[in-house]
Structures are given as C-alpha cells and as structure tokens.
C-alpha cells in the first residue's frame, strides 16, 4: 500500500512540476549533524522556491541514513519541519551516551567483540527517537554485508517502519572497528561508507522507475 502511495505521489509531482528531485545525504559519520544545518539553510534561503527542495527521493549512507529517514518521515512540502526535526535529533544525540565500554575494556572489544565499544546504547537511542515512523517519499539506505562485503540497498519497498527500519539504521551507524557489526536483518552489517560514501544512483533510479527522463532529474548532495 505504501509503495502504491509513493508511486501515486511521484506521478502527481510529475504532473505539477515535471521534475524529479533527489537528495543524496553522504556518510558524514560524526559530522552528519551538519547536514541538518545545511538543509535548514536550503529551506530558509530566499533565493530558492519551495519546489526547489521538495524532494521526491532521498538516499542516505551511514549518519546520512538517519537524516534520510527523518526527511522521508515528512511529506513533500514539510521540508522546513523535517529540518527542525533533524536539528532536534542531533541535539538529543549530543546529549546522550551512545556507546559504552565493554566489561573488560577496549582490549575485550578489540579481540573478542569485533569493535572497540559496545553500541547497545545507540540501538536504544534509535528505538526511542524513531517512534511511529511512516515513510512518505522514496527512501534508500545503504549498508555493507560483512559476510560478502557487498553494499546492499534497503528502501521503502522492503523496510517501512518498526523493527526492520530501526535495524537498518542501527546497521548504518555500525562503524567498522569502532563498533561491532550489527547482527540484524539476517546477517552482520557495517555502515555503508565502508564501500560508498554517497549513493546518488538509487535516487536517480527511483525517479526513472517513476517515468522521468534523466534530463528531468535534479540531484542535490549534502
């Protein structure tokens, strides 16, 4: 049902504007908070019309994946509200303890746990912050399967809300070496930046699937 709604929304957008807009959010890692400020600068600019930043499709890698979900949780036209929500999320994150030492310290993490620190507090934080998420535009998140080293794309087609979306975001923040791989979604995962820092192609492909020509696809990158 949600996929059909997204397709209908894309068709309506094409009729109104004849352009498909993509926002690709890069990995950023610990700097992903700055993406919230960048988006806020875009939506408050007096040099841009609202339709210039009403994105049909959003992609995210690593920390950018969390911002992608925060944006996709708002309908087109609600980008200013999404920017405010992003800002609040990262303020909350900066005031929260997102990892802890293993019992036995860094040595245990390095030699026995697959990561220097225990990321269980991060998972708990995500579960608290992302309640009742309802994806309202095309969304693609990239994470890396530890077992085969492949970059895998998770989208609104196969993750919509609830536990599987939290799992994908948790995996997106599992930085190799710093945290152990996330044991979720039937495999072990590290954040997507282990292979790609930025995913433009998934967003472009979603626009093509909606019937847009390449010349009518506009991509913004943060």
Segments making up each domain of the chain, as ranges: 2-95+133-221
Q: Report how far residue 175's alpha carbon sits from residue 172's, in angstroms, rounded to the nearest whole number.
A: 8
| 31 vs 96, higher pLDDT | 96
Q: How many helices (H) and strands (E) does the chain have?
A: 8, 7
The confidence score (pLDDT) of residue 130 equals 94
Average pLDDT over residues 56-75: 97
What fold, for 2-95+133-221? Cytosolic phospholipase A2 catalytic domain (3.40.1090)
Average pLDDT over residues 9-14: 52
The confidence score (pLDDT) of residue 12 equals 52
Among all residues, which ones are annotated catalytic?
Answer: 62, 191
Beta carbons of 135 and 156 less than 8 angstroms apart: yes
What does pTM read for this prediction? Answer: 0.89
Average pLDDT over residues 90-107: 95
Give the confidence band of 1 by pLDDT, cuts at 50, 70, 90.
Answer: very low
First to last CA, the chain: 30
Q: Report whether pLDDT(141) > 50.
A: yes
Q: What backbone phi and psi angles, to 5 degrees, belong to 24?
A: -105, 120
The confidence score (pLDDT) of residue 15 equals 46
Average pLDDT over residues 122-146: 95
Q: Look at residues 50, 44, 70 and name the one whose alpha carbon lies nearest to residue 58.
A: 70
């Amino acid at each position: 049902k949600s996929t059909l709604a997204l397709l209908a929304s894309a068709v309506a957008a094409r009729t109104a504007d004849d352009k498909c807009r993509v926002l690709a959010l890069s990995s950023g890692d610990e700097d992903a908070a700055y993406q919230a400020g960048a988006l806020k600068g875009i939506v408050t600019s007096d040099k841009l019309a609202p339709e210039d930043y009403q994105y049909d499709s959003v992609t995210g890698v690593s920390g950018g994946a969390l911002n992608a979900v925060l944006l996709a949780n708002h309908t087109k036209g609600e980008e200013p509200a999404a920017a405010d929500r992003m800002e609040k999320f990262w303020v909350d994150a900066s005031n929260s303890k997102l990892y802890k030492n293993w019992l036995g310290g860094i040595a245990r993490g390095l030699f026995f746990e697959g990561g220097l620190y225990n990321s269980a507090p991060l998972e708990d934080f995500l579960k608290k912050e992302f309640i009742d998420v309802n994806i309202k535009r095309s969304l693609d998140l990239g994470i890396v399967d530890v077992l085969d080293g492949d970059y895998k794309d998770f989208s609104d087609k196969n993750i919509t809300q609830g536990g599987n979306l939290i799992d994908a975001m948790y995996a997106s923040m599992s930085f190799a070496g710093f945290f152990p791989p996330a044991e979720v979604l039937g495999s072990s995962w590290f954040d997507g930046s282990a292979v790609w820092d930025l995913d433009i192609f998934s967003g472009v492909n979603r626009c093509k699937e909606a019937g847009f020509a390449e010349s009518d696809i506009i991509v913004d990158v943060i």
